[in-house]
Amino acid sequence: MNEINIGKRLAVGIFISLGLVILLVTIFTIGNQRKTFIRSIRLHVLFDNVQGLQPGNNIWLSGMKVGTVRSIDFYGNSQVAVTLDVERKAQPHIRRDSKVRISTDGLVGNKIVVIDGGSDASPIVSNNDSLQTEHIAGTQEMLTTLQASNSNLLEITGNLKTISHRLTEGQGTLGRLINDPDIAEHLRTSIDHLRNATEGSEKMIANLEAFSNRLRQPDGLANRLVTDTTVFTQIKGAVARLDQAAAQVDEFSQSLRTAGARLNDSNSPVGVLLHDEDAASDLQRTLKNLRISSKELSDDLEAVQHNFLLRGFFRKKAKQGQ
């Protein structure tokens, strides 16, 4: 009888011991999952909308779980104060200018708090510091924006439909351009003219390039004018001589104008000869008389040469002339 009681007591003791071990293991497991036994710091964040965030939700930093949400309370009129428990090993990686936002663990998972690391120039956070939030549009805001976008898209579609109808009916400049064959033909002609002008421009550019290449030839006149100072000096001298010749021609032209003016003057001797008919007739008679007198004088001299008194003299002169 006593052995049976001892066995029952031993079985009950073993059962209770196993239950305590299981309870302790469960407590430590849950505590490790919730970071209960890990040293942490406390940070505070004010949100306008926590989007269903609850105490116990995880905190992520660079994709790693670094703490849990400790509490969520109302603050002021419409804000929500969220207290975070963050592991101390993550403290060196969080700066005072780090931003905090609410996100989702997976596609349809629980809400989480995401902390961005911040800049290296900012100091590391301390216990009970406050962080700023990074606003990201929620589902409702995205739906509202999508609805507004749909309305704008519907309005744009209506406008495009109206424009398309007007184009089809040939209304407006573009509609006439599409539907009027005369305008299309004029446009095609203008394009052909523009193409011809472009081809002409290309030919002109090619000719200019060829001309420029000829100018750059070492033996060319243009190249010598640019590089050879002797040629330039010679051309400069030639231009100076041309200036002198032009001045002399100008003086000669002035003299001709003066002589012409004198010829037109009826009081001058030449003008009298040119303009006075009586004087011209007298001059002609005088010249005629001179010719007649000259001929008679020649005949007289011929007769004198054959005179027997002077014949010997002229023969002697003729011999001396030979």
Task: Quick: pLDDT tens for 115-135.
Answer: 987 888 999 999 999 999 887
Q: What is the pLDDT of residue 147?
A: 78
Joined tokens for residue 251: 């003086």
The pLDDT of residue 308: 59
| % of the chain exceeding 70 in pLDDT | 61
Mean local confidence (pLDDT), 134-159: 73
- Domain enclosing residue 29, as ranges: 1-33
Please give the angle made by the CA atoms of 195, 196 and 197, to the nearest 5 degrees: 90
In a domain, 94, yes or no: yes
Residues 21 and 59 in one domain: no
Coil/strand/helix, residue 40: strand
Mean pLDDT of the chain: 76
pTM above 0.85, yes or no: no
Res 291: pLDDT: 79
Residue 47 domain-assigned? Answer: yes
pLDDT score of 86: 93
pLDDT over 70 at 78, yes or no: yes
- Among the candidates 76, 105, 136, a domain finishes at 136
Shared domain for 145 and 130, answered yes or no, is no
Domains of the chain: total: 3
CA 301 from chain center: how many Å? Answer: 106
Predicted confidence at residue 281, as pLDDT, reads: 73
How far apart (Å, rounded) are the C-alpha atoms in residues 117 and 133?
13
Tell me which residue of 102, 82, 103, 85 sits closest to 94, measured CA to CA. Answer: 85
| Chosen domain end from 179, 206, 232 | 179
Last residue of a domain, one of 110, 136, 162: 136
Are residue 128 and residue 161 in the same domain, yes or no?
Answer: no
Res 199: pLDDT: 81
Degrees, nearest 5: CA angle 63-69-71: 165
Of the candidates 120, 115, 21, 23, the residue with the CA atom closest to the CA atom of residue 67: 115
Identity (one letter) of the amino acid at 109?
Answer: G
Cβ-based neighbours of 124, under 8 Å, separated by 6 or more: 91, 92, 94, 95, 96
Tell me, yes or no, whether 128 and 71 share the same domain. Answer: yes
C-alpha to C-alpha distance for 286 and 283, rounded to whole angstroms: 5
Classify residue 273: in a domain, yes or no. no
Place of tokens 């573009």: 174
Q: Is 249 among the domain residues?
A: no
Could you tell me if residue 93 is inside a domain?
Answer: yes
**Does residue 2 have a pLDDT over 60?**
no
Q: Is residue 250 part of a domain?
A: no
Kindly state whether residue 160 falls inside one of the protein's structural domains.
yes
Is the pLDDT at 315 greater than 80? The verdict is no
Query: Are 24 and 72 in a shared domain?
Result: no
Provide the percentage of residues in the chain whose pLDDT is more than 90: 19
Q: Please indicate, yes or no, if residue 72 is contained in any of the structural domains.
A: yes
State pLDDT tens for residues 189-217: 888 888 888 887 888 888 877 767 766 66
| Cβ atoms of 252 and 260 closer than 8 Å | no
Same domain (yes/no): 77, 126: yes
Condensed to tens digits (0 to 9), the pLDDT of residues 20-63 reads 778 766 665 555 555 555 788 999 999 988 888 999 899 999 88
